[in-house]
Amino acid sequence: MSETIHASRAPADPLLQEQTGAGNTDNTISGVRMHPFYTSDDMLLAAAYPSVRLLADKMTELPAGNTEICSVHRPDDTFGFLHEAAIIEFHGVLYASWYNCPTYELAGYTPICERRSYDGGKTWSELRIICEDPTEKILYCPPVYGIDNDRLYLFVNRMVAPDHIHALDLYVLNPETDRFEQLWSQPLPFKLNTNVVRLPNGKLMLPGRVGELDGFPNTPAVLLSDSGKIDAPWRLVKIAPDGHLPDGKDLVHPEITVICSGTTLYMFCRNDQRRVPLVYISEDFGETWSGAHSHDIPYVNSKIFAGTLADGRHYLIANIDRFDRSLLAVYFTDTADLRFTRRMILFDTQAPGFPVTTASHYPAACEANGRLHIIATLNYETSIRRGAVLYSIDLNDL
């Protein structure tokens, strides 16, 4: 890995000129969206940021009746807790992985596990462990995938405590053994968030956050592969010079996800210390970044996952409006322009056909065979009984 490059301010967001004072509703003040879940401190912080409007004036609500919902993994006597799943399609197979714990989040034995589906997510193979530490000194979290040169790769984090990153590890699927094998491990305190993103300039990007080695990472950052190869060197670019907010507080769990619209990158950021949804902007493919902007997508208190479909439309998946993660939605644009016009509620307290469930969160997604496959954590009855569920959307229905 190369040396850290500190963030600098990118050019102003091209959407800003139309946002200020435009499309105001009863929940805006001087063009800044004030979400109903804001505290007074949140309102003050939102007012300190430039504001970007990303939602259409009129949102079309998409019915979820044709969305297939399938269980990927249910909590059991061995692993009662599951979290931070990833998914990808490779050679017609859906690969899904996550970290498991016996009972409590990131407590005790914490391996990376996987299942595979050969029928588009309807059924899944037996659980297989990719990497583990039986001594329980090292915790593994979270997995993300990448495809390069017709090979499937998997990145994972090693931790010495919850979210205290000790190393970044890279695995590759061996076609002869059909198992993931480790290529390297490097002492980089970079926590992963999404699958590898291939940029229009040919480079690769990994969104995440960084901190001190074996410390808690609170600074949004990306890794870039200049060669466009996954197993080549990566370099770190900080999106913000530190994890501080304008009101003196720190970002907490600033998990990030990116959309590339034309030549502009929009990096959406979770913001737990304050509830203001944030987005950072780059117009040089991640070399430099703007300061944070507030915006009008009402996500809060959980991971966001965004991407671009094969036809150029964009999507963003997030828990919205509620702090208990009991409402999970996916937003779509109609075109390659970054204006979300349609929304589908994937989960609202209960998943049809499942026993008592309370929350669905931490989404990740991939597109395959005309469907958007969204994997997410599913809480059964309590927050410590968690499995994984797949929402499969027929894109022709949109």
CA 258 from centre of chain: 9
SS3 317: strand
Confidence of residue 125 (pLDDT cuts 50, 70, 90): very high
Q: How many helices (H) and strands (E) does the chain have?
A: 2, 30
Mean pLDDT for 324-345 is 96
What pLDDT does residue 4 have?
36
- Answer yes or no: are the C-beta atoms of 172 and 181 closer than 8 Å: yes
What pLDDT does residue 238 have?
97
What pLDDT does residue 326 have?
96
Whether 12 shows a pLDDT value over 60: the answer reads: no
Whether 17 shows a pLDDT value over 90: the answer reads: no
Whether 16 shows a pLDDT value over 50: the answer reads: no
Confidence of residue 37 (pLDDT cuts 50, 70, 90): very high
Amino acid at 52: V
pTM of the model: 0.93
Residues 6+ apart with CB under 8 A from 252: 218, 271, 272, 273
Q: What is the pLDDT of residues 203-242, one digit of tens each?
A: 999 999 999 999 999 999 999 999 999 999 999 999 998 9
Mean pLDDT for 115-123 is 98
**Angstrom distance (rounded) from CA 147 to CA 69:** 26
What pLDDT does residue 6 have?
36
What pLDDT does residue 102 have?
97
Mean pLDDT for 76-104 is 97
Q: What is the pLDDT of residues 279-304, one digit of tens each?
A: 999 999 999 999 999 999 999 999 99
The DSSP line for 164-179 is EEEEEEEEEEETTTTE
The DSSP line for 261-306 is ETTEEEEEE--SSS---EEEEESSTTSS-PPPEEES--B-SS--EE
**Angstrom distance (rounded) from CA 46 to CA 270:** 14
Whether 243 shows a pLDDT value over 60: the answer reads: yes
Distances (CA, A) of 324 to 30, 53, 301, 328, 383: 30, 25, 8, 11, 10
Q: What is the pLDDT of residues 308-330, one digit of tens each?
A: 999 999 999 999 999 999 999 99
Whether 352 shows a pLDDT value over 90: the answer reads: no
Mean pLDDT for 325-338 is 96
Cα-based torsion angle of the residue sequence 150, 194, 18, 339 in order, rounded to the nearest 10 degrees: 70
Mean pLDDT for 382-398 is 94
Query: Strand pairing partners for 198?
Result: 204
**Angstrom distance (rounded) from CA 227 to CA 204:** 8
Which of 17-21, 261-265, 377-381 comes out lowest in average pLDDT?
17-21
Could you list the beta-strand ranges (E) of 215-290.
Answer: 219-225, 235-238, 256-261, 264-269, 278-282
Question: Nearest-CA neighbor of 92 among 366, 309, 374, 398?
Answer: 366
In degrees rounded to 5, what are phi and psi of residue 385? Answer: -110, 100
Question: Nearest-CA neighbor of 207 among 351, 133, 73, 304?
Answer: 304
Question: 249 or 390: whose pLDDT is higher?
Answer: 390
Average pLDDT, the chain: 92
Confidence of residue 29 (pLDDT cuts 50, 70, 90): confident
Amino acid at 394: D
Q: What is the pLDDT of residues 128-148, one digit of tens each?
A: 999 999 999 999 999 999 999
What pLDDT does residue 8 have?
37
- Answer yes or no: are the C-beta atoms of 241 and 263 closer than 8 Å: no
**Angstrom distance (rounded) from CA 325 to CA 86:** 18
Whether 191 shows a pLDDT value over 50: the answer reads: yes
**Angstrom distance (rounded) from CA 144 to CA 206:** 9
Whether 245 shows a pLDDT value over 50: the answer reads: yes
Confidence of residue 28 (pLDDT cuts 50, 70, 90): confident
**Angstrom distance (rounded) from CA 398 to CA 392:** 13
